[in-house]
């Protein structure tokens, strides 16, 4: 690793959907093994930012992008294999999606598509990921039942397990706690603290307190603009650099 100091470098990133601008000249660096929280009200461009990172934005057709995004120093928009990129950048979408296959297959899906066949290897991956997603104890006896029949919160954790199954270097979580009870949310937050040893974590969240609990740094997006990014302590202190940040994290607007 040449540029070990920066896992992700986003510079002057602008994304437009038709006439609507979702992100305006956002520049942001993320260090390896860091937990960066991204907070901001609805429509502030948080999800778009994540979709740029694994290039799923281009599946939605009408998005236009400017600026550069580098991961490990490499411009992700230029050539390279988009499927390898997506394996490197694990993504947990806000609405839980259990694929219409068994719980086991849900987690084994990505490894299988990458050519891992031996049952023993798959078994190990499935167990590891389900444990990490705090779901193993609930489903270990019924791995053959349908992933899409799990409850919302369980499906959400299944989604996390699936994102871990291809051993990403960067894990993006988009409001993962939407469908999960507070106790499980805390368990997963603990898991994230463990995972940071292996990976860099981007956490988009509506719960500002969640950012406060686990993030090293926090970025505040508003209407597609990066208002402020800094150590979580400062963002949540009484004196962040921007008044807007103070207002948002203290619930004065938004």
Partner 1 sequence: MISPAHTNISREIPAADAALPQGAARFTETPFSRKKMRSESAAEYVFLAMTLLLVAPLLLILGYLLYQAWPILSLDFLLTNPKRGMRAGGIWSPLLGTFYLVFLSLVIATPIGVLAAVYLNEYARNNWFTRLIQLAVVNLSGVPSIVHALFGLGAFVLFAGIGRSILAASLTLAIMTLPVIIAGTKEALSSVPQSFREACWNVGATRWQTIRAVVLPNAVSGILTGIILQVSRAAGETAPILFTGAVFFKAISEGDLLAYGLFDQCMALSMHLFTISTQVPDVPHALPYGTAIVLLGAVLCINAVSILLRIVLRSRKKW
Binding site for partner 1 (CB under 8 A): 54, 56, 59, 61-62, 83-87, 90-91, 93, 95, 97, 99-101, 109-110, 113-114, 146, 148-149, 159, 162-163, 165-166
Tokens found for residue 203: 């956490």
Tokens found for residue 223: 């209407």
Give the shortest CB-90-to-partner 1 separation in angstroms.
8
Place of tokens 């949540």: 236
Give the shortest CB-238-to-partner 1 separation in angstroms.
39
Q: Which is nearer to partner 1, 76 or 229 (CB)?
A: 76
Tokens found for residue 251: 């619930």
**Beta strand pairing call for 225-231 and 217-222:** antiparallel
Q: Which is nearer to partner 1, 106 or 210 (CB)?
A: 106
Give the shortest CB-141-to-partner 1 separation in angstroms.
19
Give the shortest CB-222-to-partner 1 separation in angstroms.
26
Give the shortest CB-56-to-partner 1 separation in angstroms.
6
Give the shortest CB-146-to-partner 1 separation in angstroms.
5
Q: Which is nearer to partner 1, 179 or 227 (CB)?
A: 179
Q: Which is nearer to partner 1, 148 or 242 (CB)?
A: 148
| DSSP code for 251 | T
Which is it for the CA torsion 116, 119, 123, 124, positive or negative? negative
Cα–Cα dist 64/170, whole Å:
24
Q: Which is nearer to partner 1, 164 or 227 (CB)?
A: 164
Cβ atoms of 176 and 156 within 8 Å: the answer is yes
Residue 115 vs residues 100, 118, 123, 240: alpha-carbon distances, Å: 21, 9, 15, 48
User: What are the beta bridge partners of residue 102?
Assistant: 146
Q: Which is nearer to partner 1, 23 or 150 (CB)?
A: 150
Residue 14 vs residues 10, 57, 192, 254: alpha-carbon distances, Å: 10, 13, 29, 23
Q: Which is nearer to partner 1, 46 or 162 (CB)?
A: 162
Q: Is residue 99 exposed (0-12), middle (13-18) or buried (19+ Cβ within 10 Å)?
A: middle
Cα–Cα dist 106/114, whole Å:
14
Cα–Cα dist 212/205, whole Å:
11
Give the shortest CB-2-to-partner 1 separation in angstroms.
24
């Amino acid at each position: 690793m040449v540029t070990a100091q920066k896992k992700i470098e986003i510079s002057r990133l602008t994304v437009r959907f038709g006439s609507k601008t979702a992100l305006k000249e956002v520049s942001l660096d993320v260090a390896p093994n860091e937990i960066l929280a991204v907070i901001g009200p609805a429509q502030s461009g948080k999800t778009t930012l994540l979709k740029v990172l694994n290039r799923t934005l281009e599946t939605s057709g009408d998005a236009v992008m400017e600026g550069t995004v580098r991961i490990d120093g490499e411009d992700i928009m230029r050539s390279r294999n988009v499927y390898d990129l997506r394996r490197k950048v694990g993504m947990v979408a806000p609405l839980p999606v259990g694929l219409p296959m068994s719980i086991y297959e849900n987690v084994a899906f990505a490894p299988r598509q990458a050519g891992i066949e031996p049952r023993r290897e798959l078994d190990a991956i499935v167990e590891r990921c389900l444990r990490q997603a705090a779901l193993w104890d609930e489903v270990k006896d019924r791995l053959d039942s349908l992933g899409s029949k799990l409850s919302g919160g369980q499906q959400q954790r299944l989604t996390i397990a699936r994102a871990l199954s291809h051993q990403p270097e960067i894990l993006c979580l988009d409001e993962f706690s939407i469908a999960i009870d507070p106790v499980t949310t805390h368990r997963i937050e603990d898991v994230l603290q463990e995972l940071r040893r292996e990976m860099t974590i981007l956490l988009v969240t509506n719960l500002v307190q969640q950012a406060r609990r686990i993030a090293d740094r926090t970025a505040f997006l508003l209407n597609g603009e990066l208002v402020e990014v800094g150590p979580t302590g400062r963002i949540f202190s009484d004196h962040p650099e921007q008044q807007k940040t103070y207002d948002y994290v203290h619930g004065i607007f938004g």
